[in-house]
């Protein structure tokens, strides 16, 4: 344990750099993926005949191993193979694939009574979507986002196999120098990072759904 701490203090600046890269590589695709999944999910929920094709394409995308995308994307985009951009693009794809179904199911989960009540109160179609349906779907979408966040964080480390620099580099260093300390530190930091993402999303969902707490009170 002591060695792990010593390793961290000695290589502090390098590790923090990798940590931030990992935060960006996991976080930005999460936000971009959500923003892109919202309209696609809405289409799947609004026009029901599009639901099966959209969700099957998303499912197919998810079966492509991440390492394959990390390798093929530079060939398509013309980026260098070690560019973090490849990882970001691949993870955005996975996030969309995971969230499209969740968004559609979340929007569908809002009861038709609620929707009718909103219409009767004079909400137009778009107002009803933004002010009623979307907020009520937040808990379901949030649950999907938590899964995507944990999976993104752990997928970033896979990029170490081809040499993209991020927190997973601690595993490479550990292996190359036959040292347990950096490897253990890497495991701890990855788990803590996943936990941090999870807590942030939980917090945002909590702030966005005040009615859930109000109902819980006796």
Partner 1 sequence: MSVLADGAGLPGLSHVITWFNDPSNWWGSSGLLIRIREHLLYALIILLIAIVIALPLGLFVGHTGRGVVVVVGLANGLRAIPTLGLVIYLYLWLSTKITTTFAVPWLVDRGALASFVSVMIALVLLALPPILTSTYAGVQNVDPAARDAASGMGMTGAQVVRKVELPCALPLIMSGIRSAALQVIATVTVAAYLPFLGGLGRYIKDGAGDLNNTQTGYPAMVAAGLTVAILAVVVDALFNLLQRALVSPGLTGRIKRDSRRTTVDRIDAPAEANLISA
Q: Which positions touch partner 1 (CB under 8 A)?
A: 63-68, 71-72, 74-81, 150-151, 153-154, 157-158, 160-163, 168, 170-171, 174-175, 178-180, 183-184, 186-187, 190-191, 194-195
CB of 188 to partner 1, least distance (A): 10
**Residue 153 CB, nearest distance to partner 1 (Å)?**
7
- Is 64 strand, coil or helix? coil
CA atoms of 149 and 98, how far apart (whole Å): 10
Which is closer to partner 1, CB of 21 or CB of 132? 21
Here the tokens at position 101 are: 């179904």
User: Cβ contacts of residue 11 below 8 Å, gap of 6+?
Assistant: 182
Buried b (16+ CB within 10 A) or exposed e, 80-94: eeebbebbbbbbbbb
Least CB distance to partner 1 at residue 87 (A)? 13
Instruction: Give the residue with the Cβ less far from partner 1, 53 or 163.
Output: 163
* Contact status, residue 171 vs residue 183, Cβ threshold 8 Å: yes
Q: Least Å distance between CB 218 and partner 1?
A: 23
> Is the CB of 22 or the CB of 133 nearer to partner 1?
22
**Residues 61, 16: Cα–Cα separation, whole Å:** 32
Residue 119 or 147: the one with the smaller Cβ distance to partner 1 is: 147
Closest approach, Cβ 131 to partner 1, in A, equals: 28
DSSP 132: I
**Three-class secondary structure of residue 65 per DSSP:** coil
- Which residue, 76 or 121, is less far from partner 1 as judged by CB? 76
Phi, psi of 123 (to 5 degrees): -70, 135
Q: Shortest distance, CB of residue 191 to partner 1, whole angstroms?
A: 5
Q: What is the dihedral of CA 121, 122, 126, 131, to 10 degrees?
A: -30
Toward partner 1, which CB reaches closer, 32 or 198? 198
């Amino acid at each position: 344990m002591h060695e792990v701490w010593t390793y961290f203090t000695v290589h502090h600046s390098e590790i923090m750099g990798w940590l931030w890269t990992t935060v960006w590589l996991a976080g930005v695709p999460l936000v971009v993926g959500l923003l892109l999944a919202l309209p696609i999910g809405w289409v799947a929920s609004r026009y029901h005949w599009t639901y099966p094709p959209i969700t099957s394409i998303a499912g197919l995308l998810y079966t492509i191993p991440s390492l394959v995308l990390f390798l093929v994307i530079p060939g398509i985009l013309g980026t260098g193979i070690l560019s973090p951009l490849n990882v970001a693009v691949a993870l955005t794809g996975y996030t969309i694939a995971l969230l499209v179904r969740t968004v559609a199911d979340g929007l569908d989960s809002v009861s038709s009574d609620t929707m009718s009540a909103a219409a009767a109160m004079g909400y137009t179609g778009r107002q009803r979507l933004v002010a009623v349906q979307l907020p009520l779907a937040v808990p379901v979408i949030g649950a999907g986002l938590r899964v995507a966040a944990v999976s993104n964080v752990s997928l970033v480390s896979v990029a170490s196999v081809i040499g993209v620099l991020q927190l997973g580099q601690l595993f490479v260093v550990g292996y190359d120098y036959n040292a347990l300390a950096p490897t253990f530190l890497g495991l701890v930091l990855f788990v803590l990072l996943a936990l941090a993402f999870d807590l942030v999303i939980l917090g945002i969902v909590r702030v966005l759904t005040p009615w859930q707490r109000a109902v819980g009170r006796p």
